[in-house]
Amino acid sequence: MSLLTVGSVAFDAIETPFGKTDKIVGGAGTFIALSSSFYVKDQRLVAVVGEDFPAEMIETLRSKGVNTEGLQIKQGEKTFFWSGKYHNDMNSRDTLITELNVLEHFDPIIPESYQGTEYAMLGNLSPQVQRQVIERMTKRPKLIAMDTMNFWMDIALDELKKTMSMVDVLIINDEEARQLSKEYSLVKAAKVIREMGPKYLIIKKGEHGALLFHGEKVFFAPALPLEDVFDPTGAGDTFAGGFMGYLSATDDTSFDNMKRAIIAGSALASFCVEKFGTQRLMEISSTDLLQRIQRFVALTDFNMEQTL
Amino acid sequence: MSLLTVGSVAFDAIETPFGKTDKIVGGAGTFIALSSSFYVKDQRLVAVVGEDFPAEMIETLRSKGVNTEGLQIKQGEKTFFWSGKYHNDMNSRDTLITELNVLEHFDPIIPESYQGTEYAMLGNLSPQVQRQVIERMTKRPKLIAMDTMNFWMDIALDELKKTMSMVDVLIINDEEARQLSKEYSLVKAAKVIREMGPKYLIIKKGEHGALLFHGEKVFFAPALPLEDVFDPTGAGDTFAGGFMGYLSATDDTSFDNMKRAIIAGSALASFCVEKFGTQRLMEISSTDLLQRIQRFVALTDFNMEQTL
């Protein structure tokens, strides 16, 4: 099956306790497209960049099977730019610079050839833009997932709720889940949030793994314990991309397959944080990925059949 | 096989966002003995209380198969008393009162009938007392586990290291692992700590589960996502008791069985936090426990055999 990805394709400048970068390519759309390309072969990107965006990166995406017909290149304009600095514990960060540039008036045009895409991943963008994408699909995708962030909860909560009511899967982190639901307990938060629309809720907990809620079911996926987290930027998008890439490639939206998809996404996210930006995702092979998935299996596998 | 438990048997007064208690029975030794009794039938307790300690509680322990010959009752003295107040997130607490009382000069006498016990769980006590217990066993137990806390790292680090070098399994929380190793990454912390002696290290992460490290192997056990954590007091001791109770009952110290033991301990800890003190552990049946263990299985079970 095919996957539609909408999200920012951007420049990031990152500072962590381990070092800092100049402007490098980042953005939710980039991470989602790269990571999902490990699983799904037919992928379609809707995004916008300025004329300063490197053509080689677009070529790289194409070489990985990403259809870039929906990637608008705005002449005379500049690509979205974000700069941030991580604190020592890597769990929090300060935004130093946000230059919206081409994102300010982003009109997500869906090429005719993208119509009929079965799966859609809406990366973090304004809820209005995310909703436009859904409304512009002549046939509703089989499964729509969206990411968002506390920023939209602060300034556009009603718009966010409207968009959330139209999607199947919401992917947010624990802090965002607490803000959105006004509940501290993630179990209670999950109930409140699913009443807002999404039948499936994934709560990302960073180094503590992720939770998937659906109906009365819950799945707890681990994060791989790592010696160092070098740069967390893009890890959440990489997770979401791997998740949706796996689902669309296997075309199976059962709860059991969603669990597999979460492991598939977690494995890619565990690579993402090992180097700056997209660097590690560019290096790894399918064999590396399969070996990493096996480490996740070993990490949580136990057999209680031998009981007392 | 049999299990020797050493630990405080005490009074607690607890305040949480959900309510507060007067003096109720608590203490690491109590929680360990109660939880391990779900798995192991031959258990021996070494502890000390004052004459104010309720005889009914000692009777309850005995009714659960706990040998209390090594429980000293000091006439004219008072039982150890701790009082604490949990913050709103339940992850941190302030100690309001600590009255050492009988614990101040605790001499852990090992009854002759306890010699030859195959498994030992040293609950959180001064490292000197923990070491005395090991030294007083004429035959070293097959497996010795110990708990400790940041207080001993602050005031008795050399003593603690000496005791740690004599045990097989160290059970501490993430904050304590970071303090002890001076490493933020738990993977790095685990390496440093295992060089201090224990071949097995369990790092408890509260609502985020627990990690078991041994050689190059690592196991990530989930915590059950709960609607409410009513009172976390004793959850760590309950976990340790369940872990060692399961190991001694099955008499299998393989890594695979340690994983099962961690789930066995986690299941009991998930009950412990549902009510104040030992209340929930007193109520539940073996059937409740087996059903809870099944929830842990369902929570993390996935099958990656259907790959792409």
Across-strand partners of A221? A210
pTM over 0.90: yes
Does residue B81 have a pLDDT over 70? Answer: yes
pLDDT of residue A228: 86
Tens digits of pLDDT across chain A (308 residues): 999 999 999 999 999 988 999 999 999 999 999 999 999 999 999 999 999 999 999 999 999 999 999 999 999 999 999 999 998 877 788 999 999 999 999 999 999 999 999 999 999 999 999 999 999 999 999 999 999 999 999 999 999 999 999 999 999 999 999 999 999 999 999 999 999 999 999 999 999 999 999 999 999 999 999 998 899 999 999 999 999 999 999 999 999 999 999 999 999 999 999 999 999 999 999 999 999 999 999 999 998 875 55
- Which chain A residues touch B246 with a CB distance below 8 Å? 308
Question: In this complex, is the C-beta atom of B259 within 8 Å of any C-beta atom belonging to chain A?
Answer: yes
- Which chain A residues touch B184 with a CB distance below 8 Å? 88-89
CB neighbour list of residue B49: distance below 8 Å, 6 or more residues apart: B9, B10, B71, B72, B73, B74, B79, B80, B102
- Average of per-residue pLDDT across B40-49: 97
**Interface subset of B 69-88, CB within 8 angstroms of A:** 88
Q: What are phi and psi of B201, to 5 degrees?
A: -130, 130
Does residue B307 have a pLDDT over 90? Answer: no
Q: Which of B186, B221, B293 sits opposite A225 (nearest CB)?
A: B186
- Which chain A residues touch B225 with a CB distance below 8 Å? 186-187, 211, 218, 220
B302–A208: do the CB atoms touch at under 8 Å?
no
Question: In this complex, is the C-beta atom of A297 within 8 Å of any C-beta atom belonging to chain B?
Answer: yes
Chain A residue with CA closest to B297: the answer is: A304
pLDDT tens, residue by residue, B127-145: 999 999 999 999 999 999 9
| pLDDT band of B70, cuts 50, 70, 90 | very high
Nearest C-alpha of chain A: how many angstroms from B8? 28
pLDDT of residue B280: 97
Alpha carbon distance A180, A41 (integer Å)? 34
Q: Domains (ranges, CATH) in chain A?
A: 2-300 (3.40.1190.20)
Q: Which of B186, B220, B307 sits opposite A222 (nearest CB)?
A: B220
Question: In this complex, is the C-beta atom of B291 within 8 Å of any C-beta atom belonging to chain A?
Answer: no
Q: Which of A211, A263, A303 sits opposite B302 (nearest CB)?
A: A263
pLDDT of residue A307: 59
Nearest C-alpha of chain B: how many angstroms from A209? 8
Chain A residue with CA closest to B178: the answer is: A89
pLDDT of residue A264: 97
| ipTM summary value | 0.89
A208–B208: do the CB atoms touch at under 8 Å?
yes
What is the residue-wise DSSP string for chain B? -EEEEE---EEEEEEETTEE-SSEEE-HHHHHHHHHTTT-SEEEEEEEEETTS-HHHHHHHHHTTEEEEEEEEETT----EEEEEE-TTSS-EEEEEEE-GGGGG------GGGTT-SEEEE-SS-HHHHHHHHHH-SS--SEEEEE--HHHHHH-HHHHHHHHTT-SEEEEEHHHHHHHHT-SSHHHHHHHHHTTS-SEEEEE-GGG-EEEEETTEEEEEPPPP-S-----TTHHHHHHHHHHHHHHHHT--SHHHHHHHHHHHHHHHHHHTTSSTTHHHHH--HHHHHHHHHHHHHHH---TTS--
Question: In this complex, is the C-beta atom of B219 within 8 Å of any C-beta atom belonging to chain A?
Answer: yes
pLDDT tens, residue by residue, A19-70: 999 999 999 999 999 999 999 999 999 999 999 999 999 999 999 999 999 9
Question: In this complex, is the C-beta atom of B162 within 8 Å of any C-beta atom belonging to chain A?
Answer: no
- Average of per-residue pLDDT across B78-99: 90
pLDDT of residue B261: 97
Nearest C-alpha of chain B: how many angstroms from A15? 18
Chain B residue with CA closest to A41: the answer is: B308
- Average of per-residue pLDDT across B277-301: 95
Alpha carbon distance B228, A168 (integer Å)? 27
| pLDDT band of B305, cuts 50, 70, 90 | confident
Q: Which of A187, A290, A302 sits opposite B227 (nearest CB)?
A: A187
Q: Cα separations (Å) of A34 from A2, A3, A5, A226, B75?
A: 14, 12, 11, 22, 72
pLDDT of residue B18: 87
Nearest C-alpha of chain B: how many angstroms from A188? 6
| pLDDT band of B189, cuts 50, 70, 90 | very high
| pLDDT band of B89, cuts 50, 70, 90 | confident
A227–B187: do the CB atoms touch at under 8 Å?
yes
- Which chain B residues touch A221 with a CB distance below 8 Å? 300, 302
pLDDT tens, residue by residue, B225-277: 999 889 999 999 999 999 999 999 999 999 999 999 999 999 999 999 999 99
| pLDDT band of B91, cuts 50, 70, 90 | confident
Question: In this complex, is the C-beta atom of B303 within 8 Å of any C-beta atom belonging to chain A?
Answer: yes
Alpha carbon distance A248, A142 (integer Å)? 10
Asked if A125 and A9 count as a contact pair (C-beta separation under 8 A), the reply is no
Q: Which of B228, B256, B297 sits opposite A185 (nearest CB)?
A: B228
